[in-house]
Structure 1
Amino acid sequence: MRRDIKPADEAQRLARLRDEKGFTAFKVRVGKVTGHDEDQWPGRTEELIPAVRKAVGDKVRLQADANSCYTPKMGIQVGRLLEDQNYYFFEEPCPYWELEWTAEVAAALKINVAGGEQDNDLAQWRRMVRLKAVDIAQPDICYVGGLTRALRVTQLAAEAGLPCVPHSANLSLVTVFTLHLMAAIPNAGDHVEFSIEDNPWTKGLFAPALEVREGKVAVPAGPGWGVEVSPVWLEKATRQVSEAK
């Protein structure tokens, strides 16, 4: 997902990846990160939403991520545009800490509202479920505090009848962890978040590398997490060490 790209170019890029890799779902960015109702540039979101749908066709599932951009009023307006183009979910429409705002948007729209990637407090997750702020839960294993805490979130979601589509925004170990998590829970969503962007720092981190074939990526099947972290990568990596005193 990118915001620094013209809507027509993003639409063409996703259509090409559909044909080359077999992807059956994509997520696009709308609005501006914590943008106070502003767009990345005027008119971008209104142009992007239908352009991507037209380019990839009706059989591809589409989602949109607002990254905490909107107030409820504007979030509902953008949500209506997404509904008109049959998008599947609307992620983080409001500032993630404003759960009441997000709940207001979710109550007003038919499209699924997704969220939770930023949240690492289990009490906040319980509140999110209680408020019915989201229809799809998106814990990030690395943000939430590891696999055990992520499993607690998926259980909270399952008890509320919510599917989980964990946040895994780059091809580091978080995607490896996420694949294993989704394979282990009963309420996993239909698709895993798999980055199509170039993140140079993740290159060579582990082997074997994750590969998309016919729109699918396999859960690593070796011992443990199924991959080996490269000692060469670790040796070259920048380190920050903290000590308790």
Structure 2
Amino acid sequence: MKITGIRSHVLQYDLDEELGYSQQYYLKRTAHLVEVSTDEGMTGWGECFGGGDIAFANKAIVERVIQPMVLGMDPLEREVIWHKVYNLLRDHGQKGMPIQSLSGVDIALWDLAGKIHGVPVYRLLGGAFRERIPVYGYGMMLQRVPDLKERFAAESAAISAAGYKAMKMKIGRGVKEDIALVETVRDAIGPDIGLMVDANHAYTAREAIPLGRELERLGVAWFEEPVAPEDRQGYRDLCLALDMPIAGGEGEFTRWGFRDLIHNRCVDVLQPEVCGLGGITEYLKVRALAEAHFMPIVNHVWGSAVAVATNMHLLAALPDLPGGAHPVQPMLEYDTTPNRFREELLTEPLRVGEQVKESGGSVGLPGGPGLGIEPDPDFIRHFTVR
């Protein structure tokens, strides 16, 4: 079997309301899917992290840079393909968009391998450590509206009522305003629901430390991306200053990028983004580094149903750390904001929200070979932008 083509599909549509985080606001939902074709008619699907106009740059890298490198190669030689592409890209981008683009191609190759062997990806990864995965709801995006606190209160209460036992909210509007927002959400959901906050690197360590102390008072489970990903010392300072876990890693790439982050214990909870860091092939190396340092992993998940399904397989195959009769289970991050690329993309939806409601907070493993999903070609044609 040989690779005969790699095609990018950038999907986009207009949102009804503007959403945002500490760095920007946006009015379009974007997803970047990658389709790898073979001479025997089998196809694999992956996804590249990077929304908005970033997706168009990544599309060019996938189709005009990576595709010529791998045409005619055996799709099962994932390590060979990964290292060939990385070595040829190394002088032009060891992080960022080239690695995001490689990630989507690599995930598609794993999907293809599962289909070739007739087994789910989690079987290729060594098997499932769990039959169900706890899910936390991610919502409460920032908006430029006067009633943001009231909206956060209503949205957090709705996420709790939908069956989620934990949730995450955005912050990053300023220390005083952030504290008021978190207080509002904590009052709305009560003391027993897990609450995490994500600042998307809005602060310096000097600002984040006193903010973190207030978040500890409010029972926040982790403080995500408090400082810029380049500020390793700032991350370490926060880990030492606060009892609350510090989370991060979604903006890091490859085993080499994660090496010092993990070795120096710059975070307490590692959040690798498989659609950005280099794909499943590289995720496994990052996972091994984290396990060697007894660092818990909670994957960062953002994108379409393809990204969600990919992470379900990774979390199913994630070993218990450190192990025991009653281990703490890894959680699936699930975006609860409106997203047609999550709900309507597949011929058979994942039904994550419905499963959470029915089960009281968890989701079952995907069935079928590969990622166990099939994107709807008519849906893709309708939402593709060129």
Q: Fold match, TM over 0.5?
A: yes
What residue in structure 1 maps to residue 365 of structure 2? 219
Q: Which runs of at least 4 in structure 1 moved beyond 3 Å after TM superposition? A: 187-190, 200-203
What residue in structure 1 maps to residue 269 of structure 2? 136
User: In the TM superposition, what are the counterparts of 1:83-122 in structure 2 within 5 Å?
Assistant: 83-122=216-255
Verify: 1:7 aligned to 2:7, yes or no.
Answer: no
C-alpha distance in 1 between matches for 2:348 and 2:296: 29
C-alpha distance in 1 between matches for 2:343 and 2:244: 36
CA apart distance, 1:209? 1.4
Verify: 1:186 aligned to 2:319, yes or no.
Answer: yes
C-alpha distance in 1 between matches for 2:177 and 2:196: 16
CA apart distance, 1:210? 2.3
CA apart distance, 1:96? 1.1
C-alpha distance in 1 between matches for 2:163 and 2:342: 23
C-alpha distance in 2 between matches for 1:142 and 1:217: 21
Please say if residues 31 and 69 of structure 1, whose CA atoms lie closer than 8 Å, have aligned partners that are also in contact: yes
Verify: 1:29 aligned to 2:170, yes or no.
Answer: yes
What residue in structure 1 maps to residue 191 of structure 2? 58
User: What are the Cα deviations for residues 104-156 of structure 1, in whole angstroms up to 9, with x where unaligned?
Assistant: 11111100001011111321201001221101110111101111111111111
Q: Between Structure 1 and Structure 2, how many residues are aligned? A: 231
Give 3-state SS (helix, strand or coil) of 2:178's partner: helix
User: In the TM superposition, what are the counterparts of 1:142-161 in structure 2 within 5 Å?
Assistant: 142-161=275-294
Instruction: Find the partner of 1:73 among 201, 206, 211.
Output: 206
What residue in structure 2 maps to residue 232 of structure 1? 378
Please say if residues 8 and 48 of structure 1, whose CA atoms lie closer than 8 Å, have aligned partners that are also in contact: no
Distance 1:44 1:200, change over 3 A: farther
In terms of fraction of residues, the more strand-rich structure is 2
The AA in structure 1 aligned to 2:171 is V
CA apart distance, 1:203? 4.6
What residue in structure 2 maps to residue 35 of structure 1? none
Instruction: Find the partner of 1:174 among 296, 304, 307.
Output: 307
Q: CA RMSD in A?
A: 1.8
CA apart distance, 1:200? 3.4
What residue in structure 1 maps to residue 349 of structure 2? 209
Gaps of 5+ in 1: 33-38, 241-245
Verify: 1:200 aligned to 2:337, yes or no.
Answer: no
CA apart distance, 1:22? 0.6
Structure 1, 169-178 or 108-117: larger mean CA deviation:
169-178
**Please, what TM-score do these two structures have when normalized by structure 2?**
0.57
Please say if residues 164 and 361 of structure 2, whose CA atoms lie closer than 8 Å, have aligned partners that are also in contact: yes
C-alpha distance in 1 between matches for 2:187 and 2:341: 34
Give 3-state SS (helix, strand or coil) of 1:162's partner: coil
Give 3-state SS (helix, strand or coil) of 1:217's partner: strand
What residue in structure 2 maps to residue 44 of structure 1? 177
Give 3-state SS (helix, strand or coil) of 2:223's partner: strand
Give 3-state SS (helix, strand or coil) of 1:27's partner: strand
CA apart distance, 1:180? 0.6
Structure 1, 87-96 or 191-200: larger mean CA deviation:
191-200
C-alpha distance in 2 between matches for 1:153 and 1:187: 16
Gaps of 5+ in 2: 1-138, 322-328
**Largest Rg, 1 or 2:** 2
Distance 1:60 1:203, change over 3 A: closer
C-alpha distance in 2 between matches for 1:228 and 1:51: 40
What residue in structure 2 maps to residue 243 of structure 1? none
C-alpha distance in 2 between matches for 1:166 and 1:109: 22
C-alpha distance in 2 between matches for 1:118 and 1:187: 24
Give 3-state SS (helix, strand or coil) of 2:203's partner: coil
Please say if residues 136 and 163 of structure 1, whose CA atoms lie closer than 8 Å, have aligned partners that are also in contact: yes
CA apart distance, 1:186? 0.9
What residue in structure 2 maps to residue 36 of structure 1? none
Structure 1, 199-208 or 211-220: larger mean CA deviation:
199-208
CA apart distance, 1:215? 2.0
What residue in structure 2 maps to residue 165 of structure 1? 298
C-alpha distance in 2 between matches for 1:135 and 1:187: 16
**Please, what TM-score do these two structures have when normalized by structure 1?**
0.88
